[in-house]
Structure 1
């Protein structure tokens, strides 16, 4: 019995050591990734790869249409439209809008159509470092990366990465690719109306159209333009 107890304790200590080492590795790797992408632009995201394989499975060509642009090369209208559409307290919070989260939870309790409460920082964390989904594990990791991003990146860098990796159509990623695909112009030249049209499809870019909007999407565009006028210029 004594020997069994010793073996059992040894196994427990080994497992705890493995867990401890795994935790240290994860923290170190996540810190390294966040610090790396503070200075280096992410070359791709897991969503881009996933969508590419989905296109191949559907008999389509592989397509990842993206063209990275520095934040100064993206129209202020596009930045303001993103904030107006997705996260109006972007410059004020530290990664989480708890009022929006509470509102989303309350609405989701009484509706089959899920409502998101994610900030631009949370969406950037998900887009750059994680996979798609709504599991508790992914949400927990999203919160962890959100904290790191807010700690080590500026708001300007967060906006730059966000507007360069977000999905904006079938195989279309980032503001530059979207501006070229929908309006045949660079992202630096987007008007207020055009930027609002692109931002209006952020929640469902594979189903909604920036140039042929449904009545619901047109209403979203109207609200985004209204919020853009109320927000005024952004100061990073």
Structure 2
């Protein structure tokens, strides 16, 4: 019985690593997408290669979500240390999630706030960054990101909100999509509220200065 328990625990621990290895070669499926399928809810997603996505979109999400994406190894330790140093009694006032951390969370972990989940994100992000190229990381991220209720990936989002393919997105449209990521169920890139529009404007200003040479 003890051996069986140990085997089950090892299998559970190995499953995320095996999935990340697999998703280096096949289009990934997020846990949110799986949850919707299991509860018979619709999922709108069309996988596209990074080469078929406007370069403005990865530049926009780097400007918005992870400015050191091309320079860190999956975890931005300097940003993480700063968040810990500034943390009060009520917990951190802001996050330090990188694009790799968000990607592994969406692929092999569960939604919601949890210190356990956050602790798992760090080693899994380091592992994913080690086995995937930065280009593959961004490709996976942009194809599983949630942009609305049942809406996943850049191609589906571009067609829903702007009536065009992801490859035809303008800089402004890319910034509006990136600015929606922190709260995709409440922010509509096609009809941005004032706060959403201001966030997109700030992203547009930062985009030309972001380094995307790793892509």
Q: TM-score, normalised by structure 1?
A: 0.82
Q: 2:10 aligns with which of 24, 34, 44?
A: 24
Q: Please state whether the residue corresponding to 2:205 is helix, strand or coil.
A: helix
How many correspondences in the alignment? 215
Question: How far off its partner does 1:140 sit?
Answer: 2.2
Q: TM-score, normalised by structure 2?
A: 0.89
Tell me whether 1:72 sits opposite 2:51 in the alignment: yes
Q: Please state whether the residue corresponding to 1:168 is helix, strand or coil.
A: strand
Tell me whether 1:45 sits opposite 2:40 in the alignment: no
Structure 1 counterpart of 2:119: 140
Distance 1:209 1:114 in 2: 25
Distance 1:228 1:31 in 2: 33
Distance 2:213 2:56 in 1: 10
Q: 2:139 aligns with which of 127, 144, 160?
A: 160
Do the aligned residues in 1 keep the contact of 2:70 with 2:212 (CA within 8 Å)? no
Q: Please state whether the residue corresponding to 2:147 is helix, strand or coil.
A: strand
Structure 1 counterpart of 2:102: 123
Can you give the 5+ residue segments of structure 2 that lack an aligned partner in the other structure? none
**Runs of at least 4 residues off by over 6 Å:** 110-113
Q: Please state whether the residue corresponding to 2:70 is helix, strand or coil.
A: coil
Question: Cα 1:233–1:34, aligned 2, differ >3 Å: closer, same or farther?
Answer: closer
Tell me whether 1:109 sits opposite 2:88 in the alignment: yes
Distance 2:89 2:166 in 1: 39
Question: How far off its partner does 1:107 sit?
Answer: 5.4
Q: 2:152 aligns with which of 173, 182, 194?
A: 173
Can you give the 5+ residue segments of structure 1 that lack an aligned partner in the other structure? 1-13, 57-61
Aligned-residue CA RMSD (Å): 2.4
Structure 2 counterpart of 1:199: 178
Question: Cα 1:93–1:192, aligned 2, differ >3 Å: closer, same or farther?
Answer: same
Please give the per-residue CA displacement for 1:137-196, whole angstroms capped at 9, x wherever unaligned: 212222232121011111000000000001011211010001001100000010101000
